[in-house]
A and B are shown apart, each in its own frame.
Chain A
Amino acid sequence: MSLLLEQLVNGVIIGSVYSLIALGFSLIFSILEVINFAHGSILVMGTLIGLVVLQRTNFWVGLLIAALASGLLGALVEKAAIYPLRLRRAPLGAQFISTIGAGMMIDIAALVIFGPKTRPFPPSLPATQFALGPVRGSVVELAILGVSLGLMALLQVLVNRTRFGKAIRATVQNPRAAAMFGVDVDTVNTLTFALGSALAAVAGMLMGVYYNMADLGTGFLAGMKGFVAAVFGGIGSIPGAVLGGLALGVAEDIGATWLSSYRDAVAFIILIVILLVRPQGILGHPERQKV
């Protein structure tokens, strides 16, 4: 397989995971106008819980439990760290800082429960290799891509076709009018937060099987990369989050050729450049986001 093709494939695989994280950021941002800086911490906590379950059962049960755990944790963060501030009409800056505080508390809880050491992910998916034309891949990589893309498609259907999705879109576009026609906006806020958090945990589990390990540090980094991908694509935009994640994944893989051990710096270089050149992101509106 040629180097460029290999980089492209690898980039898309890890990028699809970044897209999932970015989708969580964007969903939450589009509805609450708050960047959830507890996102990475929620991801780590869900992943570490999922890992414990995985060791006793299998990957898929672990994945499900991780998503549920993070979803619950996300709902809790929204109810405890954001909702009371919104009720008092606190400025968005205060809400944002409140999510940082929530993130720290979750990190500390994870540290106390799981300890600081890096945890290996047991080989839980078949390592079988296969070739598809010029592209070589493994079952693990296929599973990662399948889960990510499948969830993105599901999310698209959820947002555009279901009653809950319409409630989300109406709340994003005009919360007061949404309430006037029967949408319980507080519940939509909480459930959207939970949904975004569950996606983060899935991403965390996928990164776990990809790199065969999980710890607090990789979780934090994953959260940051998801954030960069969301900003890259235009925060609040669903297609933007998908595109941003894929682009970041590919850019990292290609960038690593020259920067080798500074692979993780690629994301932050991109962040700085984007904020300077096109702060609304690739698909973002200059003033308003769109769901």
Chain B
Amino acid sequence: MLELEELHVYYGNVHALKGVSLKVAQGELVVVVGANGAGKTTLLRTVCGVLHPRGGRVSWNGELISGLAPQRIVRRGIAASPDNRQVFPRMTVMENLEMGAFSRRDRVGIRRDLETVYGLFPVLRDRRGQVAGTLSGGEQQMLAIGRALMAAPKLLLMDEPSMGLAPRLVTTMFETIHRIRDRGTGILLVEQNARLALGIADRGYVLETGRVLLSGTGDELSENHLVRQAYLGGE
């Protein structure tokens, strides 16, 4: 289980997270929604070790992980599909997926997970020899998720996977995310697209300027009038 307690994260003097507490149980799909600049990306960067909190703690299965370097955190079973995808642009699709498994040594498991990723995103198999920088935005998004899955994570962090996708593909993407969860991988997903994200969430949080405003099950939040007004554009 992932647990964030009273996290305070800064960029220089900018106080980006102001005491955020949040939990993701094993195999759970938790969604964090929030507007531009709410701190969603900062939250994920802190979990995967790219940023270190100035206050509070991140623990994973009871062990303190805030302060560990990213290359250690991935070995503990947390992998991310980061903001703006960040695929390796001059590596092929196949090499990007291999890089996802860089922290692993079990060849058999890696082969099996490669097949799983190709099963989830068949287009990646067709493009496996193509250089990632020449893929479309949607394909790069799939590659970023596939690369993270190649690390065989117990918890997958996803930063706005619907960003830049054609509307038709967004629905498919959320279905795929749901399938990944059903296979047993816990997911912490941050999204601006609140309606669809809360629709597949077990639980959710609303983040506003660095603070948790509301939390509840996906359905509770979808029904909440504050959420409807602010994020679902209605009533």
Contact = CB atoms under 8 A, between A and B. Distances in A.
Contact of B48 (A173, A180, A291): A180
Interface in B72-119: 74-75, 79-80, 82, 86-91, 95, 98-100, 102-103
Contacts of A290: 90
B151 interface: yes
Contacts of A173: 88-91
Contact of B86 (A176, A182, A183, A291): A176
B52 interface: no
B78 to A, nearest CB: 10
B70 A174 contact: no
Interface residues of B, number: 25
B90 A169 contact: yes
Contacts of B86: 174, 176-177
A285 to B, nearest CB: 10
A167 interface: yes
A87 to B, nearest CB: 13
Nearest to B72: A182
A267 interface: no
A159 to B, nearest CB: 12
Given A173-B89, A174-B86, A174-B88, A181 B74 contact: yes
Contacts of A169: 88, 90-91
B134 interface: no
Interface string A157-190: 0000001001101100110111111111100000
A121 to B, nearest CB: 41
Contacts, number: 68
Interface in B121-171: 147, 151
Interface string A215-235: 000000000000000000000
B226 interface: no
A177 B79 CA distance: 10
Contacts of A183: 71, 102
B85 to A, nearest CB: 9
B91 A180 contact: no
Nearest to B100: A181
B49 to A, nearest CB: 8
B79 A180 contact: yes
Interface in A271-291: 290-291
Nearest to A180: B70
A176 B50 contact: yes
Contacts of B70: 176, 179-180
B214 interface: no
Q: Which of A167, A170, A173 has the most CB of B within 10 A?
A: A173
Nearest to B151: A181
Given A166-B95, A166-B99, A167-B102, A181 B147 contact: yes
A233 to B, nearest CB: 17
Given A166-B95, A176-B50, A182 B88 contact: no
A229 B69 CA distance: 38
Interface string B17-56: 0000000000000000000000000000000111000000
Contacts of B151: 181-182
B197 to A, nearest CB: 22
Contacts of A184: 69, 71
B95 A181 contact: no
Contacts of B89: 173-174
Nearest to B101: A181
Contacts of A185: 71
A182 B71 CA distance: 4
A179 B151 CA distance: 13
Nearest to A181: B102
21 contacts: A166-B95, A169-B88, A169-B90, A170-B102, A173-B88, A173-B89, A173-B90, A173-B91, A176-B70, A177-B82, A177-B88, A178-B88, A179-B71, A180-B48, A180-B49, A180-B70, A181-B100, A181-B102, A181-B147, A184-B69, A185-B71
Closest 9 CB pairs of A and B: A182-B103, A179-B70, A173-B88, A182-B102, A177-B86, A180-B70, A181-B102, A182-B71, A182-B74
Given A183-B102, A185-B71, 9 more contacts: A169-B90, A170-B88, A173-B91, A177-B86, A180-B49, A180-B79, A182-B71, A182-B74, A183-B71
